[in-house]
Copies of this chain bind each other. A is one copy, B any other.
Amino acid sequence: MTTLEHCQALDARDPLRPLRDLFTLPAGVIYLDGNSLGVLPSHVPARVADVVTREWGQDLIQSWNRAGWFDLPRRVGDRIAPLIGAGPGEVTATDTTSINLHKALGAALALAAQRTGDSAADGGPASPPRRRTILSERSNFPTDLYIAEALCRQHGLQLALVDAPQDIAARLAPDVAVLMLTHVNYRTGAMHDMAALTAAAHAAGALAVWDLCHSVGAVPVDLTAAQADFAVGCTYKYLNGGPGAPAFVWAHPRHVSQPWQPLAGWWGHARPFAFTPGYQPAPGIARYQCGTQPIISLSALDAALDVFDAAAPLGGMAALRAKSLALTDLFIALVEALCPGQFTLVTPRAHGQRGSQVCLTPTAALPAGCAYAIVQALIARGVIGDFRAGDDAQPDILRFGFTPLYLSHEDVFHAAHHLQGVLQKQEYTRPEFNQRHAVT
């Protein structure tokens, strides 16, 4: 079994080791929840303070020009673009993932309707078009399904859900207008083959819309190589943009200037400050903008992306991916050695199918329903992961995210040993670890 000394040796020769010093990690914490909310980069508070006190407080309205607030969504988008295989000018950072997914799905449905001759002359989806189905997975992050469900209600379409990834290709029948998938599953950490599934969608005459919430900054993504149609994602997980930081949206250049997206607001207008009563969409991705953006939160995200500038000369996403796999491999190996027979690995073991997290479910060797308390006991020990409840179709899970920017092999070593300690001392039986919070 891997020793502490070996982990320390791995850390000593980790080319990404300097990146950890860019973050403010709470004392005594091993943070394995960066897949939910990334850690604060140390320089972000100063940038936020400057935006608040100087850009807002002193320069006031002039900062729309002087500080470039109006262009900030596209400037931030240009910094996200290289992390997802998109080109300059193809991404904008704006609104939320849910809202952006509504825009992307709405545009994709309009394109699909155009192709089948179902659309009105103005490019809106006809009702009902011949391709009437949005296809996704039942295990997709719920808000994606809710957004699709609402669009289906509005346009008389149907949302079809498959239960397993291997069922997707078979369900790509001629009724499918859009295949909507999340690249890395929020719950299991399982990763799709984006290129293969996009190709399968295209072969079936459908468009592919990808949610990159659990991919961007964690695993290499190449939207251009995959020939994907649309993508959205969030920035508060592996991009460390801060709580609820604005999300992003990408449309392939072959689509971006074609249909209107359904949330046509003034920040997406070709000449927003002409204040004309009729909408004229801006060229390019700017038309996927809608209303005035939260500049303070967006500035925190902008600053946070400096970390990826620092990572680039150290190997960038390829190096981050290599370390992520090393950390998750190490955690799996340690848990299997230290807690034999007590957990089933939910996350795929194959590298090509794994994101940057490891999910475990207790076996029958542990008391039923103990997963929540195990997570609470770990948090009490300073090891922060999270719990996701199961249902009829899926088990309770312990979820551990591994952000290679700021986690070390030694962190992983200690986390696994803490997990062993929780089990050995049956800490999950303590009442204080069995009180449920309303929100996690």
Q: How far is the CA of A57 from the CA of B155 in the complex (A)?
A: 43
> How many angstroms between the C-alpha atoms of A57 and B240 in the bound complex?
11
Would you give 13 A-B contacts (Cβ < 8 Å), ordered by A?
Answer: A26-B57, A26-B58, A33-B61, A37-B60, A64-B440, A65-B437, A95-B96, A96-B291, A97-B291, A98-B263, A102-B263, A143-B291, A296-B300
Interfacial chain B residues near A140, Cβ < 8 Å: 277
B-side contacts of A48, CB under 8 Å:
48-49, 52, 296
Whether A36 sits at the interface, judged by CB under 8 Å, is yes
A93 nearest CB across to chain B (Å)? 11
Q: Are A37 and B61 in contact (CB under 8 A)?
A: yes
Q: Which residues of B contact A426 (CB under 8 A)?
A: none
Would you give the 0/1 interface string for A258-298, flagging 1 where the beta carbon is closer than 8 Å to chain B? 00101111111100111111110000000000111111111
| A433 is an interface residue with CB less than 8 A from chain B | no
**Contact present for B37 and A45 (CB under 8 Å):** no
Given A58-B26, A70-B439, are A145 and B277 neighbors across the interface (CB < 8 Å)? yes
Taking CB atoms, residues of chain B closer than 8 Å to A147 are: 263-265
Find A146's partner among B49, B265, B292 (CB 8 Å cutoff).
B265
Contact between chains at A150 and B95 (CB < 8 Å): no
How far apart sit A49 and B272, CA to CA, in the bound complex (Å)?
32
Is there an interface contact between A142 and B61, defined as CB atoms closer than 8 Å? no
If A279-B150, A291-B97 touch, whether A244 touches B24 (CB-CB below 8 Å) is no
Task: Please give, as numbers and ranges, the residues of chain B lying within 8 Å of A26 by CB-CB distance.
Answer: 57-60
Q: Does A407 contact B (CB under 8 A)?
A: no
Known: A37-B61, A61-B384, A244-B298. 17 other contacts (CB 8 A): A24-B53, A40-B56, A62-B384, A64-B439, A96-B290, A96-B292, A98-B263, A124-B153, A142-B272, A143-B269, A143-B291, A153-B260, A187-B275, A234-B292, A242-B294, A246-B294, A295-B297
- Check B290 against A99 for contact (C-beta < 8 Å): yes
Given A56-B242, A269-B142, CB of A95 within 8 Å of CB of B95? yes
CA distance A439 to B61 in the complex (A): 10
A154 close to B (CB within 8 Å): yes
* Contact between chains at A96 and B234 (CB < 8 Å): no
CA distance A143 to B268 in the complex (A): 9
Question: How far apart are the CA atoms of A278 and B262 in the complex, in Å?
Answer: 23
A127 contacts B by Cβ under 8 Å: yes
The answer for the CA separation of A36 and B267 in the assembled complex, in Å, is 15
Is A243 within 8 A of B296, CB to CB? yes
CB closest residue in chain B, given A152: B124
Contact with B along A60-86 (1 / 0, CB 8 A): 111111000110000000000000000
**Given the contacts A44-B52, A244-B293, A294-B294, A275 and B388 also touching, CB distance less than 8 Å:** yes
**Closest beta carbon of chain B to A167's beta carbon, Å:** 15
Interface residues of A in 14-71 (CB under 8 A from B): 24, 26, 29, 31, 33, 36-37, 39-40, 44-45, 48-49, 52-53, 55-65, 69-70
- Which A residues have a C-beta under 8 Å from some C-beta of B? 24, 26, 29, 31, 33, 36-37, 39-40, 44-45, 48-49, 52-53, 55-65, 69-70, 95-99, 102, 106, 120, 122-125, 127, 138, 140-143, 145-147, 149-151, 153-156, 161, 187, 234, 236, 242-247, 260, 262-269, 272-279, 290-298, 300, 379, 384, 386, 388-389, 391, 437-440
Nearest residue (CB) in B for A73 is: B244
What is the distance, in angstroms, from A32's C-beta to the closest C-beta of chain B? 10
